[in-house]
């Protein structure tokens, strides 16, 4: 029996923008309270379930297969802070982590459970833990939770000495920081409508009311409060996508006025760390002499541009991504040639070196390191073939000790797989890095199926990380590849700039060039190439599918930002005013033309399209559910083939999909089953 897909009613709304006429037949889907909206989403879910019915056995097999590789009852590497060891653990059959601590030197059975997220999640379809901040005296825990997926967090304070919550509850909290004496808690909150983090508040324990400390008026800027590792200062970061400034307050107590360090200057970003030795200074990462940042310092008591002393000069080929201060050492996180590096120097300047890593493509990063006066730090390392690993690293001797590597239950032999780095060539001659992993015995003869993914926005490098779930594709002979397209941060700020605003089309043509490289070099088969991306990566999926629908066999689009033009014209939405610096402001005609050229929803045309699985969540606050819903509804009218076109809405989650680890695993199993069936590896959608 042939299944009949849902058909959304058409209620056309006509508008004229910069002299061009547009008609939107499905704008009515924005009304979440309209029963017809929910009915349509549920009908699409039912249709997706029916179309995917032939893969149910495969989905269950994939789920059991992936679950079987996970150590369900497990323990994180404990982290020392303030006389306690903090860690999380998971238990078989439970969806969420349990957050615990144990006093230094105490027996292992003397565990103190701080938060059992499973208990918080009882009776709720979604649960996410946000902030988690223990006071310096270790007595109080401030933490926040979101139980809808809308990323709207509620802050509470728990008295750990008695295990009870205080009479304190604040909504829409985005960040928190304690003072040294533990009497004051600073927290930031978001705007009710736009979700922009814009106010800093001070709560005094036992006080009569909270005090508004700071409000950011510029709608392009958000605020975030934190504490330096030295524990000496509270820092309020105010930033847009291109500009920032910092205010500081001594952390000893909550009194006094916050001091502005370097006033904001358009297109200059900076952030700070504090070091009390060598004259008490702030160490500053700033991009005032070049886009990739340099490192400077200034006296903590007198931070002015004319007093900045350069420590590390700007380098056009090295992105300075972050700084971490310890009592005797400074760690600089860098990226060169698309590969992360950790550079170590002594504060006294006597020694400087980079930590060596064994593979040509990997992720290396500082792990959780709350303590200040240490010479051994935690670092994390993984690659496409090496599971996530945590090391103790001695900064003086350079000796590293493996503390834990992600266990792949049932055994995993990394030598059976190979990780490669290739270069595609864009139309303008730019070399585009492409990371790839495959089983070593899969031939490069143009027959292998492939899943190619990408992102390319906000200057975020696409991580080259390990996934035990991915083994379900690799073991079936699939190649998995990542296109490190412009708009991301793999090659620094210049790489980001070359794929945003007026240059956004580069992101899409880079991805197409990457796909053609894989095919032309025989690494994958033409006609067996599936692609996947989420959020801004979902925009990428929509744009490249419009440009080259013939190139791809299947598309998995997660919470895709596909209605770019309409969203960026609505200043009340979270992804609008602050995003003008990434995408452009369509109220300005020139910038409207940029967006008009690639907006997936606007540029849908009649013709053949690949098989598509489009996922969204009803409570998504970053990319509203109606964007993918409208996109699928419109595409149903225009596609001229019989390839599956599926919309699947999680009715109780947000941007990241299901929050429970087992529920999330089932979502991945569904995606994999769709891909495997679509490229002819296993299963069928007929």
Confidence of residue 208 (pLDDT cuts 50, 70, 90): confident
554-558/112-116 β-pairing? unpaired
Interior CA angle at 521 toward 519 and 522, to 5°?
Answer: 65
**pLDDT tens for each residue of 280-323:** 999 999 999 999 999 999 999 999 999 999 999 999 999 999 99
Q: What is the pLDDT of residue 310?
A: 96
Judge whether 455 and 488 are in contact, CB under 8 Å.
Answer: yes
Q: Is 290 helix (H, G, I), strand (E, B) or coil?
A: coil
Neighbours of 475 (CB within 10 A): 12
Q: CA-to-CA distance for 266 and 245, rounded, in angstroms? A: 10
Structure-block tokens of residue 150? 């809308």
Which pLDDT does position 685 carry in this prediction? 87
3-class secondary structure per residue, 169-184: EECCEEEEEECCCCCE
pLDDT for residue 108 is more than 90: no
Domain at 550, CATH number: 3.40.50.1820
Number of domains making up the chain = 1
Q: Which alpha helices (DSSP H) does 586-625 contain, by range? A: 589-598
User: Which of 637, 636, 658 minimizes the C-alpha distance to 647?
Assistant: 636
| C-alpha distance from residue 200 to each of 130, 192, 197, 240, 534 (Å) | 17, 15, 9, 16, 31
Give the range of the structural domain holding residue 499, as residue numbers without chain letter: 13-67+413-678
pLDDT of residue 105: 84
Q: What's the rounded mean pLDDT across residues 39-62?
A: 98
- Count of all residues that appear for the chain in the document: 686
Would residue 665 count as lying in a domain?
yes
Q: What is the pTM of this model?
A: 0.97
Instruction: Provide the pLDDT for residue 1.
Output: 59
Tell me the two tokens of residue 526. Answer: 């033409």
In a domain, 381, yes or no: no
**Residues labelled catalytic:** 535, 620, 655
Cβ atoms of 544 and 512 within 8 Å: the answer is: yes
Are the C-beta atoms of residues 214 and 247 closer than 8 Å to each other?
A: yes
Give the chain's largest Cα–Cα span: 79
Instruction: Provide the 3-class DSSP secondary structure of residue 598.
Output: helix
508-520 mean pLDDT: 98
Query: Do the domain assignments include residue 247?
Result: no
Question: How high is the mean pLDDT of the chain?
Answer: 96
pLDDT computed for residue 476 by the predictor? 98
Work out the number of other CB atoms within 10 angstroms of the CB of residue 409. Answer: 12
Is 202 within a domain?
A: no
Domain-located, residue 648: yes
Res 109 pLDDT > 90: no
pLDDT digits (tens, 9 = 90+) for 420-472: 999 999 999 999 999 999 999 999 999 999 999 999 999 999 999 999 999 99
Please give the backbone phi and psi of residue 58, each rounded to the nearest 5 degrees, phi first: -65, -45
Q: Domain for residue 472, yes or no?
A: yes
Would 573 be classed as within a structural domain? yes
Whether 23 has a pLDDT exceeding 80, the answer reads yes
Kindly give, in sequence order, each residue whose CB lies less than 8 Å from that of residue 417, ignoring residues fewer than 6 positions away: 384, 385, 437, 438, 439, 440, 474
| Three-state SS sequence of 147-201 | CCCCCCCEEEEEECCCCEEEEEEECCEEEEEECCCCCEEEEEEECCCCCCEEEEE
How far separated are the first and last CA of the chain, in Å rounded? 10
Q: Output the CA angle 488-489-494, nearest 5 degrees.
A: 100
Q: Tell me the two tokens of residue 410.
A: 């049932």
What is the Cα–Cα distance from 80 to 444, expressed in whole angstroms? 48
The three-state secondary structure class of 476 is coil
Q: What was the pLDDT predicted at 295? A: 97
**Percent over 90 (pLDDT), the chain:** 95
pLDDT at position 196 over 80: yes
Written as six digits, the tokens of 491 are 């090659």
Please say if the pLDDT value at position 652 is more than 80. yes
Q: Which two tokens stand for residue 558?
A: 């997660």
- Is residue 187 predicted with pLDDT exceeding 80? yes
Residue 278: what pLDDT? 67
Nearest to 510 by CA among 451, 426, 583, 597: 426
Runs of H (alpha helix) within 366-501: 471-474, 493-497
Asked whether residue 460 is assigned to any structural domain, the reply reads: yes
CB neighbours (10 Å) of residue 148?
18
> What's the pLDDT tens digit per position in 360-372?
899 999 999 999 9
pLDDT for the residue 559: 98
| Secondary structure letter of residue 607 according to DSSP | B
């Amino acid at each position: 029996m042939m299944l009949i897909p849902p058909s959304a009613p058409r209620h056309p709304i006509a508008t004229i923008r910069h002299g061009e006429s547009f008609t939107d037949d499905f704008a009515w889907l924005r009304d979440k309270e309209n029963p017809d909206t929910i009915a349509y989403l549920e009908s699409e879910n039912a249709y997706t379930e029916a179309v995917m019915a032939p893969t149910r056995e495969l989905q269950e097999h994939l789920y059991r297969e992936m679950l079987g590789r996970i150590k369900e009852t497990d323990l994180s590497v404990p982290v020392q802070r303030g006389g306690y060891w903090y860690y999380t653990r998971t238990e078989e059959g439970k969806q969420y982590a349990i957050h615990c601590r144990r006093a230094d030197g105490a027996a292992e059975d003397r565990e103190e459970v701080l938060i059992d997220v499973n208990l918080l999640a009882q009776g709720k379809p979604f649960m996410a833990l946000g902030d988690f901040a223990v006071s310096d005296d270790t007595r109080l825990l401030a933490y926040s939770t979101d139980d809808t997926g809308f990323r709207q967090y509620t802050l509470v304070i728990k008295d750990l000495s008695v295990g009870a919550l205080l009479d304190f509850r604040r909504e829409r909290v985005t960040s928190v920081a304690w003072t040294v004496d533990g009497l004051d808690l600073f927290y930031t909150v978001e705007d009710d409508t736009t979700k922009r983090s814009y106010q800093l508040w001070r709560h005094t324990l036992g006080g009569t009311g909270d005090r508004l400390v700071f409000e950011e008026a510029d709608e392009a800027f958000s605020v975030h409060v934190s504490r330096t590792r030295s524990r000496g200062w509270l820092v309020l970061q105010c930033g847009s996508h291109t500009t920032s400034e910092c205010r500081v307050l001594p952390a000893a107590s909550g009194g006094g006025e916050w001091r502005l360090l370097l006033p904001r200057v358009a297109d200059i970003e900076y952030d700070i760390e504090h070091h009390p030795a060598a004259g008490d200074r702030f160490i500053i990462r700033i991009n005032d002499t070049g886009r990739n940042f340099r490192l400077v310092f200034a006296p903590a008591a007198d931070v002015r541009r004319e007093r900045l002393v350069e420590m590390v000069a700007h380098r056009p080929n090295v992105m300075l991504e972050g700084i971490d201060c310890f009592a005797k050492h400074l760690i600089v996180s860098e990226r060169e040639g698309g590969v992360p590096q950790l550079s170590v120097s002594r504060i006294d300047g006597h020694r400087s070196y980079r930590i060596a890593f064994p593979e040509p493509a990997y992720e290396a990063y500082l792990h959780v390191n709350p303590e200040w006066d240490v010479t051994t730090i935690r670092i994390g390392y993984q690659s496409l073939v090496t599971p996530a690993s945590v090391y103790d690293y001695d900064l003086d001797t350079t000796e590293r000790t493996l503390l834990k590597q992600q266990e792949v239950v049932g055994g995993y032999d990394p030598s059976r797989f190979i990780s490669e780095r290739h270069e595609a060539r864009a139309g303008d001659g730019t070399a585009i890095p492409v990371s790839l992993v495959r089983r070593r015995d899969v031939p490069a003869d143009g027959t292998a199926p492939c899943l190619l993914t990408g992102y390319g926005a906000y200057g975020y490098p696409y991580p080259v990380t390990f996934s035990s779930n991915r083994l379900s594709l690799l073991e079936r002979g699939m190649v998995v590849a990542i296109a490190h397209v412009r708009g991301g941060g793999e090659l620094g700020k210049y790489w980001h700039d070359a794929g945003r605003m007026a240059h956004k089309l580069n992101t899409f043509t880079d991805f197409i060039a990457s796909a053609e490289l894989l095919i032309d070099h025989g690494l994958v088969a033409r006609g067996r190439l599936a692609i996947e991306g989420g959020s801004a990566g979902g925009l990428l999926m929509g744009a490249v599918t419009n440009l080259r629908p013939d190139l791809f066999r299947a598309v998995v689009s997660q919470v895709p930002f596909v209605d770019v033009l309409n969203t960026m014209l609505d200043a009340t939405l979270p992804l609008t005013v602050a995003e003008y610096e990434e995408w452009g402001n369509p109220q300005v005609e020139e910038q409207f033309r940029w967006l008009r050229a690639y907006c997936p929803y606007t540029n849908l045309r009649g013709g053949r399209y690949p098989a598509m699985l489009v996922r969204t969540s009803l409570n998504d606050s970053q990319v509203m559910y109606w964007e993918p819903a409208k996109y699928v509804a419109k595409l149903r009218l225009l596609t001229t083939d019989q390839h599956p076109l599926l919309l699947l809405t999680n009715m109780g989650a947000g941007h990241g999909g299901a929050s429970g680890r087992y529920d999330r695993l089932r979502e991945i199993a569904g995606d994999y089953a769709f891909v495997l069936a679509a490229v002819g590896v296993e299963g069928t959608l007929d």
